[in-house]
A and B are shown apart, each in its own frame.
Chain A
Amino acid sequence: MMEIRTPKTHKAKRVLEKRAPKLVENGKKTLILHGTKTSATLSSVLMELYRLKKGGAIKYSRRNENIRPFESGGETSLEFFSQKTDCSIFAYGSHTKKRPDNLVLGRMYDHHVYDLIEVGIENFKSLLSFSYDKKIAPHEGSKPFICFTGEGFENVPELKQLKEVLTDLFRGEVVDNLNLTGLDRAYICSAVSPTKVFLTHCAIKLKKSGTIVPRIELVEVGPSMDLVIRRNRLPNEGLRKEAMKSSKDKPKKKVKNVDQDDVLGKRGRIFIPEQEVGKTPLPDKSKGVKRERREGKLKKKNKEEGSASKKHKESE
C-alpha cells in the first residue's frame, strides 16, 4: 500500500525543488565534523575552515564515533548527514596516535561517497595569529582566487586529486557576473614536495598601476598549514564518468509566438483581443459636447466681446 505525499506548504515545496537534481547545479555545501578525539590544532582548523566557508558550510559540534571513512561500513553516517543537510563535500577531522591531526576531505555523488583524501596537518598557524590592517580583511562569501604552484600537482596522482578537491572546496558558487571590487581573497597552494602541500589564505590589495589592470599585492591573513598526504581513495572509473557527464546546454526557453523559418525568416504572431461590441465606449454625441459647437461658442463670445469693446470705443 503506497501513499502519495506532497508538501503542504509552498516553502516546503521550494526547499524540495532546490535540492532536486538539476541541469545547472547549486554551489556545493560543506559538512564539517569530527570524530571521537580532536586535538587543539584540529579543532581550530575545523573552526577556521567553517569561517572561511561561512555561507556554504554546516559544522557539527558533537563527536561521531561510528564514522570511519576509509572502512566499508563506516560511511553510512556520513551519507545520512549528507542527505539531511544536502552537503556534497565533507571535512572530517580526527586525532589518533597513529594519525595525529588527521583531516579527511571527501566528496559525494548522489549522497554516496565519491572520493576521499586524507591529509595530516602540520605547522598550523591560526588566523588570529596574523596581524594585518583590518581594512583589507576579506569579506564573507566573496569569490576567491585559487592558485596552485608546483610540478607535483601534475605528476603525482594524489596531489592531482588533492588539487581537484581543494578547487571544489574553495570554489563556492559558479557565477556569471562578477563584481571586480569584491575580489579580496586568494588561496595559495604550493606543492613543496611530492607529499606535502603548503596552503595559505591571503587578502588581496589592489594597487594603482599605469594600465586598467591594477597591481596585485597579497597579504597573508588567514590560516596557513602544511598538508601531508596520507591515504586516498579514487573514484570508480564508471562512477567518475557518470559524475563528469554534463549535458550540452539545452536550448534556452523558447520565446512564445515567434518562429524562425528558412524561407520566410523570423515570423511573429500577434493576437488581437476579441472585440466586445456591446462594451466599447461609444463617443458622447450629446449636442453640447461636440467640439465644433464648443469652438463655435467660444468664437461667438470673443466676437461679442470684440464688438462690445468696439462699440465702446466708438461710443467714446
Chain B
Amino acid sequence: MDMETDQIYQIDVGNLLAFNPNHRFSSAPSSREELVKECVTEGTKLVQAIADTLFNLPSTETNDGPLVQLPPPTTKLPREKHLPRPKPPTKWEEFALKKGIQKRKKDKIVYDETTDKFKRRHGYDRVNDDNDIPIIEAKASDEPGEDPFAKRLDDKKKRVGKQEKNRLENLKTAAKAGALPSHVQLAVTGLPISGTKTQPKKIGKEALGDVAGLAATSTASGGKFDKKLPGEKPPKKQGKHHKYLPVVPRYGWVDEEKEQTNKVLGKLLSKHSHEILNVGKAINMYNDKKEKKKSGRSDKLKAKKDITKKKPYANKAN
C-alpha cells in the first residue's frame, strides 16, 4: 500500500499476502542455517503484520471460532478464463425489439371455453389439446380425399421442425460470437446415407477388436502365420477348447474318467440328491426329447435326405 518509510510492508489482506521490498540479503553467503534463520525471522515479521490487521477486523463468533469478513484482494492476478461474453439476440428477440413486442407472463391455468373449466396450459389434460378434437368441420377449400386429423399432425411436425431449425441457427450465431451456453455443445454429425433414415450405429472399440480377432483366426491355418499389425491383440482363447480325459488310464495313474463318473453318480445317489437334481426339470427335459425324436422324422424344416441318389466315391481298387 504505502512505500514512504523504510519499514512499511506491502500487505494484501484479501490474499493473506505480504511483501517486504526493503530487506537486503547479504551477498556474502553466511552459513545455510543462518540464512534460513534470517528468512524465517523476516517471514515471521511479515505474518505478524498481516495478523495485526486481520485480528483487528470485526469478527463474528461462531461454533468453530471467530469468523472475519476478508476485504477483497488488492493484487491483480490474471483470470483463468475469459469474461462471459454477452449473448447475441436471437431472431425472435430482434424481431420483438423492432416491433416493440413486450414479453407477457403467461398463466399456468387458463380458462377453457369448450368445457367451461380452468385447465392447465401445458401437460396432462391441457387446454386446446390436439388429441381432444372430436369433429373437424369441412370447409369449402378442403379436398375430398384429405384427412384433416393427419393434416393437423403434419402441420405440427412441420412447425416443430422449423422451430428446431431456428433454434440451431440461433445457437450457431451464439457460438460464432463465442457465447454458447455452457451446457450446449454443437456437434458436427456425418450425413446419413441417402435412402436410409438412421445413421449406422457406431461400433465400440472392444467389439471391433473382437471381430478383428475372429477375422484373423478364420484363415486356413488359424491365423498363425499372418503378420501381426501393431496394436493388434492376440486371439482370445488359443489352442484347444475342450479337455477330454483319457479313456484308458496310464499305468500307476489314477483313472480320472472313472473318478469323474463316480463323482457324478455319488452326488445323484446320495442322501441330498434332491437338492442337486431338479427332478421336475429332468422329467420335462426327458419328455421334450422324446417328443422331438418322435416328430423329428416328419420335421418339414429339416432337409430330407434323398436316399435314391448314390454317393460318388473314388475307385479304390486301382
Chain A residues in the interface with B (C-beta under 8 A): 1-7, 13, 16-17, 19-23, 25, 28, 88, 107-110, 114, 123, 143-151, 153-154, 163-164, 167-168, 171, 174-183, 186, 188, 190-193, 198, 200, 202, 204, 212-218, 220, 224, 235, 240, 242-247
Contacts and interface: CB of A to CB of B under 8 A. Distances in A.
Nearest to B184: A6
Contacts of A5: 184-187
B43 A202 contact: yes
What size tier do the contact residues of chain B reach?
35 or more
Contacts of B78: 107, 109, 114, 168, 235, 240, 243-244
B83 interface: yes
A168 B69 CA distance: 21
Contact of A216 (B48, B59, B167, B183): B48
Contact of A148 (B20, B48, B171, B190): B20
Given A4-B167, A25-B80, A215-B48, A182 B65 contact: yes
B40 A202 contact: yes
B8 interface: no
Contacts of A183: 16, 51
Contacts of A17: 182-183
Contact of A204 (B18, B47, B65, B187): B47
A190 B80 contact: no
Given A20-B182, A145-B47, A192-B25, 16 more contacts: A3-B187, A21-B84, A22-B84, A88-B80, A146-B16, A149-B46, A150-B21, A171-B15, A171-B17, A176-B70, A179-B64, A179-B66, A182-B64, A188-B46, A190-B38, A246-B76
B40 A200 contact: yes
A182 B82 CA distance: 32
Contacts, number: 214
A309 to B, nearest CB: 62
A188 B191 contact: no
A154 B282 CA distance: 91
Contact of B36 (A13, A198, A240, A245): A198
B183 to A, nearest CB: 5
Interface string B1-42: 000000000000011111111111101000010011011101
Contact of A3 (B36, B183, B189): B189
A7 B48 contact: no
B70 A175 contact: yes
Contact of B190 (A1, A151, A179, A240): A1
A86 B17 CA distance: 26
B273 interface: no
A94 to B, nearest CB: 24
Given A1-B189, A109-B81, A148-B18, A244 B76 contact: yes
A190 to B, nearest CB: 4
A180 B64 CA distance: 9
Given A174-B73, A217-B44, A235-B78, A148 B19 contact: yes
Given A4-B171, A25-B80, A215-B48, A181 B39 contact: no
A2 B165 CA distance: 10
Given A110-B81, A147-B47, A247-B83, A16 B52 contact: no
A212 B70 contact: no
B93 to A, nearest CB: 19
10 contacts: A4-B167, A13-B183, A150-B21, A190-B42, A190-B43, A192-B39, A202-B40, A213-B55, A224-B36, A246-B83
